[in-house]
């Protein structure tokens, strides 16, 4: 961007920079300028929409400017508003009657442009308030999902998959969104697409016969190519079951009054979307890759008990750990007492050679005892502080665990008594909230969990 001051001497520049004085002065001298294109063929309404100049837009529309005025590529002011995700500008245009389904010369709708620039907020607004079709193909058969995958806009991808965009649709060249994400070497986009139901695309060939893994390798993304080649199509549910689960989840979301109206989405927390479960996760929930579902207050997956530890079973897990610690301690005490008595008063036939296995047992038991003691103490400490193993290990990923200065802050800690009561009486207490409101002392319930989310695991 040039740092030199711009001379605002035309209606188009005045519209772009929101300079009302110049705009009204020039329009007063020659009102036809408001309806005329500049030397590049663009209109004042487009410039105002691009830069979210709502007051200028209102003025221009009041002056009779056509709301769907299009440039040479047939892009309307609504298309331009999508470039920078200007929600107020788009809302102003739509209320003035802008055509939500308008297409430019390449068949792009406003949703295509928003997806190309990763404007998840505008996509959400268009779908929630105006019922926009976010899955319409352009002239080349590409949907907004193809574009978000190609450009690597993870938040837009999450939202589009959540709203039910077809994850496996091929474009005119036979390329699915997974093909495009592979071409650009975008691992996060590939992961989201596979979680969102694009598993069948792993084996799909485009018009040239290439699969996503081959395209990734051809473009120099060797690791991604190998990862995609290793991923198995039958890892996820069969497509029919996946569709059925998605339909059922959508039904639950509709009946729970959640979906697009979720407070987390209204707050722009796109990371709370689970594209696999098609839900908006409450705060502190995480998708478990082993069990394939979202878990409230996710702690960790425990291979010992073969289950995830979360909101519903954390107290039981802690009880299990302390009982286990008691049993290995008792076993250790018995073994040491036996060894001690045998060494103090050797009996016939019980020479040193017969003590080898008891000693091996004591060593193995000591190893177990130390491990379980460490785990039990860590879990007790975390429950007393109301923090999970996952949050402690990955706190830098979660905005809600950051203080204003960027340091770690636990907003859920309300003293050890209240914290322990919260975990031990999880079933009797309100479920996790979707978003934190205010500071650390005002954790309020802004939504209740629903859909496929499992609290009891
Ligand atoms: Zn999930």
Which residues participate in catalysis according to the annotation?
Answer: 302
CA of 310 to the centre of ligand 1 (A): 14
| Domain-located, residue 183 | no
| Domain-located, residue 100 | no
Q: What residues make up the domain containing 411?
A: 314-428
Regarding beta strands 273-274 and 279-280, do their DSSP bridges make them parallel or antiparallel, or are they unpaired?
Answer: antiparallel
| Domain-located, residue 383 | yes
| Domain-located, residue 309 | no
CA of 194 to the centre of ligand 1 (A): 13
CA of 298 to the centre of ligand 1 (A): 11
CA of 232 to the centre of ligand 1 (A): 19
SS3 annotation, 104-172: CCCCCCHHHHHHHCCCHHHHHHHHHHHCCCCCCCCCCCCCHHHHHHHHCCHHHHHHHHHCCCCCCCCCC
Regarding beta strands 307-309 and 300-302, do their DSSP bridges make them parallel or antiparallel, or are they unpaired?
Answer: antiparallel
| Cβ contact 170:161 at 8 Å | no
| Domain-located, residue 380 | yes
Number of domains in the chain: 1
The structure tokens 């040479």 sit at: 72
Strand partners, 279: 274
| Domain-located, residue 1 | no
The per-residue pLDDT for 343 is 79
Enter the DSSP assignment of 23.
Answer: H
| Domain-located, residue 104 | no
The per-residue pLDDT for 258 is 59
| Domain-located, residue 358 | yes
CB atoms within 10 A of CB 250: 17
| Cβ contact 264:434 at 8 Å | yes
The per-residue pLDDT for 167 is 94
The per-residue pLDDT for 427 is 63
| Cβ contact 339:348 at 8 Å | no
**pLDDT of the chain, 457 residues: tens digit per residue:** 445 566 888 999 999 999 989 999 998 999 999 999 999 999 999 999 999 999 999 999 999 999 999 999 999 999 999 999 999 999 999 999 999 999 999 999 999 999 999 999 999 999 999 999 999 999 999 999 999 999 999 999 999 999 999 999 999 999 999 999 999 999 999 999 999 999 999 999 999 999 999 999 999 999 999 999 988 555 544 444 444 454 444 444 443 435 888 888 988 889 889 999 988 988 899 999 888 889 999 999 999 899 999 998 999 999 999 999 999 999 999 989 888 888 777 777 666 677 788 889 999 999 999 999 999 999 999 999 999 999 999 999 888 899 888 899 999 998 999 999 888 877 666 566 666 654 433 333 333 333 344 433 3
């Amino acid at each position: 961007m040039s740092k030199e001051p711009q001379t605002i001497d035309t209606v188009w520049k005045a519209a772009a920079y929101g300079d009302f004085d110049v705009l009204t002065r020039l329009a007063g001298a020659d009102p036809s300028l408001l309806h005329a294109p500049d030397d590049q063929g663009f209109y004042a309404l487009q410039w105002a929409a691009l830069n979210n100049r709502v007051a200028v837009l209102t003025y221009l529309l009041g002056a009779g400017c056509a709301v769907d005025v299009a440039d040479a590529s047939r892009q309307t002011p609504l298309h331009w508003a999508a470039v920078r995700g200007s929600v107020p500008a788009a809302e102003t245009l739509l209320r003035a009657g802008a055509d939500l389904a308008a297409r430019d010369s390449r068949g792009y709708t406003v949703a295509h442009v928003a997806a190309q620039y990763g404007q998840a907020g505008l996509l959400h607004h268009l779908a929630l308030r105006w019922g926009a079709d976010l899955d319409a193909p352009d002239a080349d058969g590409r949907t907004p999902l193809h574009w978000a995958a190609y450009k690597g806009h993870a938040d837009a991808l999450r939202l589009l998959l959540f709203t039910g965009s077809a994850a496996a649709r091929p474009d005119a060249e036979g390329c699915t969104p997974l093909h495009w994400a592979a071409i650009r070497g975008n691992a996060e986009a590939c992961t989201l697409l596979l979680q969102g139901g694009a598993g069948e695309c792993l084996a799909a060939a485009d018009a040239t016969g290439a699969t996503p893994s081959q395209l990734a390798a051809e473009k120099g993304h060797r690791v991604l190519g190998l990862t995609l080649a290793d991923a198995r199509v039958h890892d996820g549910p069969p497509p029919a079951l996946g569709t059925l689960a998605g339909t059922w989840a959508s039904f639950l979301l509709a009946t729970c009054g959640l979906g697009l109206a979720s407070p987390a989405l209204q707050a722009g927390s796109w990371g709370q979307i689970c594209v696999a479960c098609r839900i908006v996760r409450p705060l502190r929930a995480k998708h478990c890759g082993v069990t394939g579902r979202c878990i409230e207050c996710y702690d960790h997956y425990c291979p010992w008990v073969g289950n995830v530890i979360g909101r519903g079973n954390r107290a039981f897990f802690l009880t299990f750990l302390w009982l286990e610690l008691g049993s290995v301690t008792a076993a250790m005490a018995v073994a040491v007492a036996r060894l001690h008595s045998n060494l103090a008063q050797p009996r016939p036939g019980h020479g040193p050679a017969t003590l080898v296995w008891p000693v091996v047992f004591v060593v193995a038991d000591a190893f177990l005892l130390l491990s379980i003691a460490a785990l039990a103490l860590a879990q007790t400490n975390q429950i007393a502080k109301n923090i999970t193993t996952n949050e402690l290990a990955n706190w830098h990923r979660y905005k809600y665990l950051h203080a204003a200065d960027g340091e770690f802050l636990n907003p859920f800690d309300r003293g050890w008594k209240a914290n322990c009561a919260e975990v031990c009486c999880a079933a009797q207490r309100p479920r996790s909230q979707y978003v934190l409101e205010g500071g650390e002392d005002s954790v309020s319930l802004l939504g209740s969990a629903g859909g496929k989310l499992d609290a009891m695991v």
